[in-house]
Amino acid sequence: MDASAVNLNSSTTNALQGLKKATDTLDQAAQNIAGGSLDPQDVVSLSQAATNFKANAAVLKTADQATQSLLNITA
């Protein structure tokens, strides 16, 4: 296994973990708001979770594109 494969695998793993964390944060903030919380931090958490989710999704997309490029080179 070469270094690029290890980096792509690591990037994918980190992005998936980031997606999970963003989803968990989103769920918690949504539950707090649905439960009647008036804490502004919950709204901030929703916004941050959405931004984090988008960023991690972009990492996954880029890793997928890099993998496709590598596969096209070796084909």
Chain segment 8-56, per-residue pLDDT in tens:
788 899 999 999 999 999 999 999 999 999 899 999 999 999 999 999 9
Confidence band for 61, pLDDT divided at 50, 70 and 90: very high
Helix (H) or strand (E) holding 22: helix 3-34
Distance CA 15, CA 71 (A): 21
pTM of this structure = 0.79
Q: Please say whether the beta carbons of 60 and 13 come within 8 A.
A: no
Per-residue pLDDT, 24:
97
